[in-house]
Amino acid sequence: MNASSRRSQLTLDADGRVPLARYIESPNCDERPPRTPITLAVIHGISLPPGEFGGPGIVELFTNRLDANAHPYYASIADLRVSSHFVIRRDGELLQFVPCEKRAWHAGASSWRGRAGCNDFSLGIELEGADTMPYATIQYQILARLLKALHRRYRFRHVVGHSDIAPGRKTDPGPAFDWKRLERLILPKRR
């Protein structure tokens, strides 16, 4: 997404792909259960290696090409089969790995309000970052635009963190994520 497209309204095609996002197909997805509406958006935080930004690790993980020998941490995750619908890089670049109409494998063992298996009914959005490091201003701006576009299509009811659907197992997007800031960007200004 370049500077001029950052000002354009985000849209989705019939399959749930955002034309302004760079699409990198992940094999780590499948069909959603029939007649299962999307009712949840899940915000994640990821950096590979941990605390480092801008490298190829996230793309390699989501496309099953992560070299277990490239970094000591990678040996513990190289065999994972995971993905997310979207990743928003530190510089605001928007990547899409799975069309929204499909189920991305982002939530793992999870539940929301008594309903297990959040992958079935959610969209996964990863922010390149770490729990205790502030996220970039451009990431909040792109995230807000993306959530608005996704909500126009899917009318989901909740936006939560990975930590909300997998408490005790996951901590992201972490205490550095500013939920109030995101809310101010999403909600219309009141007069």
Within a domain: residue 13?
A: no
Residue type, 110: S
Per the CB < 8 A criterion, the answer to whether 72 and 78 are in contact is no
Within a domain: residue 16?
A: no
Within a domain: residue 162?
A: yes
Q: How confident is the model at residue 3 (pLDDT cuts 50, 70, 90)?
A: very low
Cα 65 to Cα 153: distance, rounded to the nearest angstrom: 32
Work out the average pLDDT over 174-189: 92
The residues annotated as belonging to the active site are: 126
Please give the mean pLDDT across all residues of the chain.
Answer: 94
Within a domain: residue 9?
A: no
Within a domain: residue 89?
A: yes
Question: Which helix (H) or strand (E) is 41 found in, with range?
Answer: strand 40-46
- The string of pLDDT tens digits covering residues 8-64 is 789 999 999 999 999 999 999 999 999 999 999 999 999 999 999 999 999 999 999
Domain span at 149:
22-185
CATH code assigned at 128: 3.40.80.10
Cα 158 to Cα 163: distance, rounded to the nearest angstrom: 14
pTM for the whole thing? Answer: 0.95
Share of the chain above pLDDT 70, in %: 94
Domain count, the chain: 1
Within a domain: residue 56?
A: yes
Cis peptide before 49 (omega within 30 of 0): yes
Q: Is the pLDDT of residue 4 over 90?
A: no
Within a domain: residue 67?
A: yes
User: What pLDDT sits at residue 187?
Assistant: 85
